[in-house]
Structure 1
Amino acid sequence: MSGGTEGPARDGSVYGIDGLAHDELAALVREQLLIGQLIDRAGMPALLAEFGLEGMRDVAIEEWQAASPHYALRMKRALGISGDGVAEIFKGFQLDIGAPPEFMDFRYTVHDHDHGEFHLDHCGALMDVEPMGDQLVKVMCHDIEDPTFPATAFATNPRAVVEPVHRPPRSPAGRTPHCQWTVRIDADAPPAELPAPAAESASAAAVSLEFPEPAAGEDPREGLLADYSGPLLSDLHFPDFDRAALVRIAREVALQMHLLALGFAQAVRRRSDTDTAVRLLRYQCTGISGVATGRIAAALGVTAADGPAGLARIFSLHPIAAPAEYTGFSMALRDDGEGLDLHWAAEAPWWRDEGWAQVLGSGDAGPLEAAARAIDPRYRVDLDVSASGVKAAVLLDPEADPDGAEFAEREEVAVTRLSSGAGFEFGPVRRPIPLTPL
């Protein structure tokens, strides 16, 4: 095994973040933010079937409330974002899986330290839900957003107030921007309390995980931004960050995904039991695993022709494996060249949390199969759960018929792929402009 997702494998190849050039790492971060948004899309159908519309709504609120106050604070610390004003709140939004760039096209205005506003020129989430009718639009844009925007802002200032100017259902039809909100710091108001779901998740290993200091890059083409302590920028052009900053962002965004899954499981357990939580986590994890592989592969130019070595590149960066400091993931190409050996070590922090680790720990290979078959449907996965953790052999069968019924895309992946985010294409980044008070 290699010693985690970073560093050389037995064949001398370097996988994980260390195996990426600066421009590839910048591309990965953008993909991670969008993949994180799609985790929500992967889980919602299962919630709807299990609990109905109101139950789905309430779990969605609680999962984001459980995750975002913690991960927003972690990202601020990782990138040297100090201060407690609206500009710092907006910086947090820009690095949040709830607001992936372009797909959720946030535009910001800062009036002064205590006042600002934002609007969405394009909301991919609205584009997904709007065809389903006004009731679902209201659930997302009113019921869910009203308590979850303040939960994210809480990490910067507990006295932050986020209020809508207008939001969907759109009137008149086709109205742009899709929504508009104000943000203000009310110095006279008592500070809000940490949302109850975040208080419950505060003891999770993912919340307190510490990463080692990343190594400096050696690519002369890499960006010059070592952190985000400067002014708020209209857009983040990730290649402008240096390698160490990109590593920090990539690690934190990967952890955001796990925190969201923990919040999901926590909210489901509150309404049912552990078995139901694991079953719905399995659906969520399987759906996002197939879509994540496809997006990461496309961003890095990996195809089925690259064989197990190409799949190894993807697994080392995949949400079910990264960050290795949390999941205990390691990997090696098999000596016969026909597959991979994967391992999630039993002593890893994620086993202490009740998120996606529970899915693998239950012996279910569905998420790994979905991840591998998104590259080549001829892969199969053999899973072994023991005291040392979880081991998986991902094996390529060159003789298998990829068009056979047994290789059809899993329902969980197909349903997640219905979101427009699954096939979203990023455009050229607009030139970042410092946003200063008007």
Structure 2
Amino acid sequence: MTDLATLGREYLLAGHLIDRAGMPHVLRGHGLEGMKAIAIEEWMAASPVYTRRTQKTLGFHGDDVATIFKGMQLDIGAPHEFMDFRYRVHDAHRGEFWLAHCGALMDVEPMGDDFVVGMCHHIEDPTFDATACATNPRARMRPRHRPPRVPAERHAHCHWDVVIDEAAEALPEPEGAARLAQCRAANAPITVHQDYAGAFDPDFHLESLSPAALDAALDEVCLQGHLLARSFMTAVARRDGVDDAVAIGHRQLTGIAGVAARRLVRLDLDDDGGALARIAAVLDVHPAFRPRSYVDWHVEAETARVTAWLGDCDGLREGDDMAWPALLGAHDDAHPALSAIAHAVDPRARVEQVAAPAGAVRAWAFTVDPDAAPAREATEVTLTRVSTGADFEFRGR
């Protein structure tokens, strides 16, 4: 069976790829400038909210550089290895980090310098500071160097200083973060552990945590994805209205659901079973359906089918449809995201909505017909797979 740390690295990467699933649809309607504005608003709102939750979960508190770096080590903005952050703390007020490998840069470099500058300058400047100010509003992140790379093969891919200046003006809490902090996802129960209450470890890896703390951390990583998706849809809604935001949210969910499932199915989840057993295993651990405190999700494997159902939960009580569980619950038939997950396991799989059991809101049956024609991959999944993260291989550091 796959260990929790391996699963955690997949969750961090899946969270990072959520934007790859949503932004192509924004780019089509808003162009590069509009996409940058939405990305900035999205991350500035989500990052401070989930950073503080992570601090509580693993018992590390403070207002120094080490505390900032601890949060970054468990951030979907910095998935291990794909975004290979390296850290050095000089003292409580000064530190630096650099990226030995930046998967996001590998994604945008082929698109040209306008996209590189958009990500590495226009988006990162305000969003990095928003991440830092969750710990200390007088912290600033400033580049020593960053792309476009000169020369073209320059390493590290970028290098940043982090400085806390007690005389600096305190940055205000981003307005979007204050709003997002009121949602149910932001206030989901937190299981507190003290595993990272001690000294900062620049070589921290998920295996450093106890099984109980790691399980809690994985729930938080998945919740980061829900918060980021909600923040994304909120940013779109402010420009285009809720209906358009929800429509893009459906596409985003479908894209990331399929790509995450493609990666999960490569793990040793249930290699001894057939296609249905593997579908059940992927549905059970898929990050879109964690944490269970926010998504009441059940999976039952039977002889001829797999049944999954969604119960009443906080993910359905946000007051709108700008949450992944609400998107699933509002769909009149089998949501394309569920089909994308099943097809990642076996393209002959089929999904249909069935009568929900007592206490459930929606239920779906998954079957596999060995004589059926393989389904084509959903366009949303194909768009998301443009990212190098879709097929990235973890090798260890």
Where does residue 158 of structure 2 map in the other structure? 179
1:320 Cα deviation after fit: 2.3
Work out the CA distance in 1 between the residues paired with 2:258 and 2:115. Answer: 26
- Conserved? CA contact 1:308–1:340, under 8 Å: yes
The amino acid that maps onto 2:292 is: A
Partner of 1:296 in structure 2? Answer: 264
Following superposition of structure 1 onto structure 2, how do residues 232-243 of structure 1 map, counting pairs within 5 Å? 232-243=200-211
The reply to whether residue 133 of structure 1 matches residue 112 of structure 2 is yes
- Specify which of 283, 286, 298 is matched with residue 330 of structure 1: 298
In the other structure, the counterpart of 2:365 is 393
**Match of residue 195 from structure 2:** 227
* Counterpart-to-counterpart distance in 2, 1:308 and 1:163: 50
> Structure 2 counterpart of 1:342, which letter?
A
Q: TM-score, normalised by structure 2?
A: 0.94
Q: Distance in 2 between matches of 1:352 and 1:193?
A: 29
Query: Structure 1, residues 226-248: CA drift from partner, whole Å, max 9, x if none?
Result: 61122222222322321111111
Aligned length: 390
Whether 1:90 aligns to 2:72 is no
Asked whether 1:32 is paired with 2:11, we answer yes
* Displacement after TM superposition at 1:198 (Å): 0.7
Q: CA deviation at 1:382?
A: 1.2
* Alignment partners' CA distance in 1, 2:346 and 2:49: 37
| Mapped contact 1:278–1:358 kept (Cα < 8 A) | no
Shift, 1:357, TM fit: 2.5
Does residue 58 (structure 1) correspond to residue 32 (structure 2)? The answer is no
Q: Percent identity?
A: 47
Tell me, in whole angstroms, the C-alpha distance in 2 between the residues paired with 1:35 and 1:180.
Answer: 24
Matching residue within 294, 297, 310 for 1:344: 310
- Does the Cα contact within 8 Å between 2:269 and 2:282 map onto a contact in 1? no
Cα distance, 1:212 vs. partner?
A: 5.3
Q: Within 2, Cα distance between the matches of 1:50 and 1:127?
A: 24
| d(CA) in 2 for partners of 1:276, 1:408 | 26
Gaps of 5+ in 2: none
CA distance in 2 between counterparts of 1:290 and 1:305 reads 21
Moved over 3 A (4+): 211-214, 301-305, 384-388
Is the contact between residue 41 and residue 419 of structure 1 (CA under 8 Å) also seen in structure 2?
Answer: yes
Aligned 1:97-136 pairs, distance under 5 A? 97-136=76-115
Is the aligned partner of 1:362 residue 2:304?
no
Deviation of 1:305 (Å): 5.5
Residue 379 in structure 1 maps to residue 358 in structure 2: no
Match of 1:165 among 144, 149, 162: 144
Q: 1:183 to 1:389 in 2, by over 3 A?
A: same
1:247 maps to amino acid: D
Aligned residues: CA RMSD:
1.9
- State the distance in 2 between where 1:228 and 1:306 align: 40
* Alpha-carbon distance, 1:344 to partner: 1.2
Aligned partner of 2:122 in structure 1 is: 143
When structure 1 is superposed on structure 2, of 68-77 and 165-174 the one drifting more is 165-174
Partner of 1:287: 255
C-alpha displacement of 1:301: 4.8
> 8 Å contact 1:291–1:422 — kept in the other structure?
yes
Indicate conservation of the 8 Å contact 1:204/1:352, yes or no: no
The 1:213/1:138 distance shift into structure 2, 3 A limit, reads closer
Q: Which amino acid aligns with 1:58?
A: A
Structure 2 residue aligned with 1:76: 55
SS in 1 for 2:389: coil
